[in-house]
């Protein structure tokens, strides 16, 4: 039974410690999320709402406002979670403070009683008499040890009271800080909610304009989608041609080296060409395979193609928020960024192709083994076909739309000819 109580006490202590640790970790996680959302809102305001002088279409205004409203709603949700967690922490601290005060009261009463008794037997003569009245030496020795233990216990009691007092003071200080933090979060949330209400009013007014002439705006969306699909087809054709050319060059180079060395193409480790399963896949050398493996191992950790930016259109098929019967599709991601922003290679590789496509300005395709990164809507290009590039190396600058006033990079990732979601590969996209 005794051991069971000890086990139960230790279990409760462990659960309490792990609960407190989990709450601290959760609060830290939520604060990191809140700061990330605040940074996102800051980017939305600086990148999508640069100036009111620039005229934007109603559709574009609604899209931009949707981005800001979604971020604001997310901010309010996370801030509410933080406030709720703080409320639980505050209540836990109040309970702990109450419990500590009770413990401290009992300890002080016990200590006062002990000091009183000690004072009554304080004089040296009574202690000597206590020892001299021993029946034998062993009893005298035990009484000496008892007096030492008693003094040690009294000191320990005093230290315990001091420790409990300091713990109580720390809890009180934490409680004050937590209440201040909670009040600050509540005040910020009220401001965010007030701003969100105004933004929703603006959104409703713009959506009413859209609904009034739904046919016209759905036609605009579909026309824009057709233009995007046409650009995608041209990029697909460029990639197909680039793969064929790369395979031809690699094959001719390997054959030439084999002929010069008097060997077959399969006898040189570096230049062994792996025949592709399909004609539209890269024939890889050992060096290419190593680069592709390195690219794969960096999935989710690759840098953004621009230093500062935010995704305004994600990968895949999406239902239009205002027109449920209209769907849009994106083969890559669209990233709003600063004017004249530098475009960077997301990984080391070789420039496979540079082309100009109507509606997409300049387009750069970089090969990373059997992976490709594609950078569309460039105003300037600072590399040339065949160049070896390193991670984060500048390859050009993003073009600015003269009609919308936005600077948007269209970015794709392919494996051979298969489009893959860049958000799975780029760090925190």
Residue 119: pLDDT above 60?
A: no
Q: Global pTM?
A: 0.71
Q: Using pLDDT thresholds of 50, 70 and 90, give the confidence band for residue 277.
A: very low
Instruction: State whether 108 and 238 are in the same domain.
Output: no
Specify the CATH number for the domain of residue 291.
Answer: 2.70.70.10
**pLDDT at 123 exceeding the cut of 80:** no
Do 175 and 86 share a structural domain? yes
SS3 assignment, position 189:
helix
CATH of the domain at 28: 1.10.287
Q: Which of 197, 212, 227 is the last residue of a domain?
A: 212
Q: Which two tokens stand for residue 61?
A: 């205004």
Q: Are residues 90 and 239 in the same domain?
A: no
* Same domain, residue pair 270 and 377: yes
The stretch 47-71 carries a mean pLDDT of 81
Q: Is residue 10 part of a domain?
A: no
Domain that holds residue 332: 215-424
Phi-psi region of 24 (alpha: psi -120 to 50; beta: other; left: phi over 0): alpha
Query: What is the mean pLDDT of the segment spanning 85-111?
Result: 79
* One domain for residues 223 and 284: yes
Closest CA to 316 of 326, 335, 333, 329: 329
Q: Mean pLDDT throughout 356-370? A: 97
Picking from 159, 183, 212, the residue at the C-terminal end of a domain is 212
What is residue 177's predicted lDDT score, i.e. its pLDDT? 85
Cβ atoms of residues 155 and 102 within 8 Å: no
Residue range 280-290: average pLDDT?
Answer: 90
- Alpha carbon distance 398, 64 (integer Å): 19
Which has the higher per-residue pLDDT, 32 or 259? 32
Residues 330 and 306 in one domain: yes
Same domain, 155 and 255: no
- Nearest-angstrom CA–CA distance, 171 and 97: 7
Q: Sort strands 371-381 and 394-398 into parallel, antiparallel or unpaired.
A: antiparallel
Lowest mean pLDDT, pick from 3-7, 66-70, 186-190: 3-7
Among 92-96, 161-165, 315-319, name the most confident range: 315-319
Residue where a domain stops, chosen among 212, 236, 268 = 212
Buried/exposed code over 108-139 (b: 16+ C-beta within 10 A; e: otherwise): eeeeeeeeeeeeeeeeeeeeeeeeeeeeeeee
From residue 417, alpha-carbon distances to 232, 249, 250 in Å are: 12, 19, 18
Which residues are CB-neighbours of 85 under 8 A, at least 6 positions away?
23, 26, 27, 30
pLDDT level of residue 162 (50, 70, 90 thresholds): confident
Kindly report the length of the chain.
429
Question: Percentage of the chain surpassing pLDDT 90?
Answer: 48
Confidence at 131, pLDDT banded by 50, 70, 90: low
């Amino acid at each position: 039974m005794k051991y069971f109580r000890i086990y139960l006490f230790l279990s409760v202590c462990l659960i309490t410690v792990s609960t407190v640790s989990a709450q601290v970790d959760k609060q830290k996680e939520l604060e990191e999320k809140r700061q990330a959302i605040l940074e996102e809102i800051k980017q939305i305001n600086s990148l999508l709402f640069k100036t009111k002088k620039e005229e934007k279409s109603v559709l574009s205004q609604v899209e931009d406002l949707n981005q800001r409203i979604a971020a604001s709603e997310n901010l309010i949700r996370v801030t509410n979670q933080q406030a709720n967690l703080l409320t639980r922490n505050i209540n836990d601290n109040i309970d702990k403070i109450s419990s500590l005060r009770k413990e401290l009261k009992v300890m002080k009463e016990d200590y006062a009683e002990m000091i009183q008794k000690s004072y009554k037997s304080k004089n040296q003569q009574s202690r000597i008499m206590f020892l001299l009245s021993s029946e034998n030496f062993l009893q005298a020795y035990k009484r000496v040890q008892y007096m030492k233990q008693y003094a040690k216990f009294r000191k320990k009691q005093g230290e315990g009271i001091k420790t409990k007092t300091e713990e109580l003071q720390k809890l009180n200080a934490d409680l004050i800080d937590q209440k201040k933090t909670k009040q600050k979060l509540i005040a910020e949330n009220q401001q965010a909610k007030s701003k969100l209400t105004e933004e929703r009013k603006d959104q409703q007014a713009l959506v009413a304009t859209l609904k009034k002439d739904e046919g016209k705006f759905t036609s605009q969306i579909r026309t824009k989608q057709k233009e995007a699909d046409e650009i995608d087809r041209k990029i697909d054709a460029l990639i197909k041609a680039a793969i064929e050319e790369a395979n031809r060059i690699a094959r001719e180079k390997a054959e030439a080296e084999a002929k010069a060395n008097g060997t077959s193409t399969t006898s040189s480790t570096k230049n062994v060409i792996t025949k592709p399963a399909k004609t539209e896949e890269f024939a890889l050398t050992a060096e290419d395979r190593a680069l592709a493996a390195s690219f794969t191992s960096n999935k989710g950790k690759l840098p953004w193609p621009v230093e500062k930016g935010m995704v305004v259109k994600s990968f895949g098929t999406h239902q239009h928020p205002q027109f449920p019967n209209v769907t849009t599709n994106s083969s890559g991601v669209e990233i709003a960024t600063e004017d004249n922003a530098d475009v960077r290679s997301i990984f080391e590789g070789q420039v496979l192709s540079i082309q100009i496509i109507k509606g997409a300005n300049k387009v750069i395709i970089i090969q990373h083994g059997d992976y490709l990164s594609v950078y569309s809507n460039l105003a300037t290009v600072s590399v040339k076909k065949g160049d070896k590039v390193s991670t984060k190396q500048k390859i050009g600058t993003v073009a600015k739309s003269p009609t919308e006033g936005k600077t948007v990079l269209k970015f794709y990732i392919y494996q051979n000819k298969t489009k893959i979601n860049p958000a799975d590969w780029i760090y925190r996209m």
